[in-house]
Every structure is written in C-alpha cells, then in structure tokens.
C-alpha cells in the first residue's frame, strides 16, 4: 500500500496514461441490460464496455458498442430460448469473431444473469477463452428471483459451479436479496437500476484505481492475488454517503448490505479488498475512519488490500466497495519448481573434507544394518494397469498418473527388518 498523492490528478487533470486495461462484457439479455445501464452512468469516461447476445432484437436496441450476435448458425437468429446448451454452442461457434473484442485487456468483468440460456451457457465458454489469453477474469453473476421457479434456480446454481472452474473468481448477486435494498413501492425497473448502480460503482472504483494513479494505489498485482487465491468465489458489498456525514453513511450502508449478509460475511473473511472513491475534499481522516470501521469487523491477520482514488465529480460524496473471500489459497509449487530447488540444494552441498568428523554409521553404534527388500506390491505397467485397466488413463504432462509414482520412476520401496 503506497501513499502517493498526485497533484495534477487531485486537481482534475486526468490525462494520465492508463496502467491497466479493463473491459466490462455483458453476456445475454440480463448482462446486456446491466452493462447498458452501467455505461449510461459513465458519460465522462470509464472502462471499455461491450455486449454479446444470441437475441438480435435485444442487440438492435442496445446502444453499447461494440456488440456481437452469437451463434447465428446455431440458433438461426432466434436466440437461445433459455436453452443452456444452445447458449454454449452459440459461444463456441462465435468465439473466433469475439476474439478482437477480448484481446489486449488485463482485467475483464463478465456480467451475466444465471438461469437462462445465453448467460449460463455462453459465459463459461468466454471465460475459458479469456483464461487461455491469461486475462484476469471476474464474473458478476445475477441469480434468479425465487418466484422464477426451482428449475431455473437449479440451472443457475449449476452455471455458477461451471463458472467457478473457468473464471478466476465469481461474485454471486442473489436478486432475491434486492428486496432488502428497496422500499415496498419501488418499481420493477428502478429495482434493477439500484442493483446495477451497486455493481457499476464497484467496477468503476476498481477501474479508477487500476487505470489511473490514486491517492492510495492498489496495484493490478494486488487484485490478481486476491482473486486468484479466493478459491473461486467472492462476495461484494457497496455503501455510499453524501454531505457532512458521508463517511458514516457510507460505512452504515455498506455494513447493512444484504450481499454481505448485513456485515456477517466480514467476520469470517480470509481476504478483504477495500476501495474508497471520493472527491477532492476527501481527507486522510475519512480514509482512516472507513478502513478502521470495516477492518474492526474482520478477523485479525486477514489479507488486506486497500485503495483510494479521487474523482473531480465526486465532491461531497464518498463510496466504499469491498471484495472479500472466505478462502485464501497459497499457490502450489509446481514439480519443475520443486525439482529446481532440490537440484540447487544438492549442487551446493559441500563435499566431505578429509579429517572432518562425520556421523557414525549404523554399524558403529551397534544398530542393525538396514536390508533392501521389495515390498509385495502388484506390478502395474502401461498395459496392465491393475484396478484402472478398464478406465480411461489420466494423462498429465505425458504421464499416466493412475500408475503409482514409484513404478513410473522405477524406484524400489524398502523397509527395515
């Protein structure tokens, strides 16, 4: 965390070269609508946006550019019809045409609805392609309302599980919890707009921190570390305030967020990212107060990432967004890395010098000398694979890992007797 006050930036001169390129991609009808409403909030600049869908009518009225129709041959331009398999096939058919939209970005936010055809089916295909491009991918997945039925809910849950295998992290947005954010008389369109505002502010704050120098910088490497070690599932919360009590109001609304389970999620978080967005009048005391209040709800020793940025249009306003994960998975060392460490260690061992005392042998202290013996284990070869003979081989790096390691390496196992 670096304290880096940029005077030109604080006074509104934002012609600074971008540090990280960010794309927000809406997938399907729900995702396209969310991104369309987000883009309308960023008239003076924001992250790049794009929309893909299998429904030509939805794309025809969507002002977001670029946009792409998926699966013209697969769906015959009739949309996926809530068929997840059709959505998947449509994305696979069009992935080559989608490539120019996706390449060149450091971070891509996928925004989609779960439970339908295009969002549920196409999003994992696109996420898998981004993984091959080595692009950090974070997906906001909106879950269906309870009244949409059990079948749609099961389809959505299956879709999230598939996305977790393809994305670096998935942020689940249960639409059912929107009710806790709304007054009873709130209209349907306004209800979704309120939800979109929360997601849009989170994305905008991250983009602001990553693309331009902030007051407290959050590096792209920090975002990648949190997302990649999250175990594949993150939670998201947002709070905002205005006027003299903006900090207190922002903290209060954040901690009452239904997506953070009224702050309970923070109590068992393993990692936490806090993004603060304010105007030129935001003070160090504001930042300290916000961070102190939020981290007081989190466990000690949590992996904490903090960023704060200033926007000239945000005078007298303050917004807080957090990303948090219950897991923190340290990276696993690869076989090549382990072999290299062992080789370096052995190469650097000093040879025994004449006259130097060495450890006594087993015989010197009256211990029985170990005898090398073969353990009575079944021999398994490439053609006789024991209990795995009827199964398809599991090949990793050219080796059948169903065959025990000691056999693949030609080692003998021994024991003392």
Domain boundaries, the chain: 18-212, 217-352, 369-417
Helix, strand, coil shares of the chain, percent, nearest 5, are: 40, 20, 40
Q: Give the C-alpha separation, 191 to 174, whole Å.
A: 13
Query: Are the folds of 18-212 and 217-352 the same?
Result: yes
pLDDT tens, N- to C-terminus, the chain (417 residues): 333 333 333 223 333 344 578 999 999 999 998 899 888 887 667 899 999 999 999 999 999 999 999 999 998 888 888 899 999 999 999 999 999 999 999 999 999 999 999 999 999 999 999 999 999 999 999 998 888 889 999 999 999 999 999 998 898 888 887 777 677 787 877 777 777 777 887 787 778 777 766 778 777 788 888 888 877 788 888 899 999 999 999 999 999 888 888 889 999 999 999 989 899 999 999 999 999 999 999 999 899 999 898 888 889 999 998 989 888 877 654 455 555 655 665 566 555 555 555 544 444 444 445 555 555 555 555 454 555 566 666 666 666 666 666 566 665 555 454
Crossing angle of helices 246-255 and 284-295, rounded to 10°: 20
- In this prediction, residue 49 carries a pLDDT of 95
- In this prediction, residue 182 carries a pLDDT of 73
* Residue 231 near residue 326 (C-beta atoms within 8 A): yes
Tell me the residue length of the chain: 417
b/e per residue, 75-89, with b = 16+ CB within 10 A? beeebbebbbebbbb
Q: Give the C-alpha separation, 415 to 375, whole Å.
A: 8
- DSSP for 208-269, written as a single string: HHHHS--SEE--HHHHHHHHHTTTTEEEEEEEEEESTTHHHHHHHHHHT-GGGTTTGGGGG-
b/e per residue, 37-73, with b = 16+ CB within 10 A? bbbeeeeeebbbbbbbbbbeebbeebebeebebbbee
**Gyration radius of the chain's alpha carbons:** 27
Residue 269 burial (10 A CB sphere; 0-12, 13-18, 19+): buried
Question: Coil, strand or helix: which one is 373?
Answer: coil
- In this prediction, residue 332 carries a pLDDT of 52
Q: Give the C-alpha separation, 53 to 329, whole Å.
A: 34
Q: In Å, what is the CA distance from 98 to each residue of 23, 29, 66, 73, 95?
A: 13, 17, 10, 15, 5
Nearby residues of 83 by Cβ (< 8 Å), 6 or more positions away:
117, 121
CATH 3.40.50.1440 is right for the domain spanning 18-212? yes
Q: Which two tokens stand for residue 223?
A: 């975002």
Q: What are phi and psi of 264, to 5 degrees?
A: -65, -30
- In this prediction, residue 103 carries a pLDDT of 94
CATH 3.30.1340.10 is right for the domain spanning 217-352? no
- In this prediction, residue 104 carries a pLDDT of 92
- In this prediction, residue 385 carries a pLDDT of 57
């Amino acid at each position: 965390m670096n304290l880096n006050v940029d005077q030109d930036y604080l006074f509104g001169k934002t012609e600074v070269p971008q540090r990280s390129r960010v794309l927000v991609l809406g997938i399907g009808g729900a995702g396209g609508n969310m991104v369309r409403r987000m883009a309308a909030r960023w008239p003076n600049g924001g992250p790049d946006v794009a929309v893909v869908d299998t429904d030509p009518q939805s794309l025809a009225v969507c002002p977001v550019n670029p946009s792409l129709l998926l699966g013209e041959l697969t769906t015959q331009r009739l949309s996926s019809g809530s068929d997840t398999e059709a959505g998947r096939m449509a994305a696979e058919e069009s992935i080559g045409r989608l490539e120019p939209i996706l390449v060149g970005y450091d971070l891509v936010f996928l925004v989609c609805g779960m439970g339908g055809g295009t969002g549920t089916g196409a999003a994992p295909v696109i996420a898998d392609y981004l993984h091959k491009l080595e692009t950090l991918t974070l997906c906001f997945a909106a879950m269906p309302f309870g009244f949409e039925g059990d079948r749609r809910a099961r389809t959505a849950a299956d879709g999230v599980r598939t996305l977790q295998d393809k994305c670096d992290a998935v942020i689940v947005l249960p639409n059912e919890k929107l009710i806790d954010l709304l007054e009873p008389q709130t209209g349907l369109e306004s209800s979704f707009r309120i939800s979109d505002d929360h997601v849009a502010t989170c994305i905008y704050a991250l983009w602001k921190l990553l693309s331009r120098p902030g007051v407290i910088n959050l590096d792209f490497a920090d975002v990648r570390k949190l997302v990649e070690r999250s175990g594949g599932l993150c939670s998201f919360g947002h709070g905002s305030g205005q006027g003299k009590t903006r900090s207190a109001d922002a903290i209060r609304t954040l901690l009452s967020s239904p997506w953070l389970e009224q702050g309970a999620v923070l109590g068992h978080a393993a990692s936490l990212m806090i993004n603060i967005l304010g105007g030129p009048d935001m003070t160090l005391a504001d930042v300290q107060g916000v961070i102190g209040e939020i981290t007081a709800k989190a466990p000690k020793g949590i992996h904490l990432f903090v960023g704060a940025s200033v926007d000239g249009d945000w005078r007298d306003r303050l917004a807080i967004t957090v990303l948090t994960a219950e897991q923190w998975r340290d990276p696993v060392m690869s076989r090549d890395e382990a072999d290299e460490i062992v080789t370096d260690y052995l190469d650097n061992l000093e040879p025994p010098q004449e006259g130097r005392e060495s450890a006594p042998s087993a015989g010197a202290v009256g211990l029985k000398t170990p005898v090398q013996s073969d353990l009575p284990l079944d021999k398994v070869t490439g053609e006789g694979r024991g209990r795995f003979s009827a199964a398809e081989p599991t090949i990793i790096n050219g080796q059948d890992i169903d065959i025990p390691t000691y056999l693949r390496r030609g080692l003998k196992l021994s024991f003392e007797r």
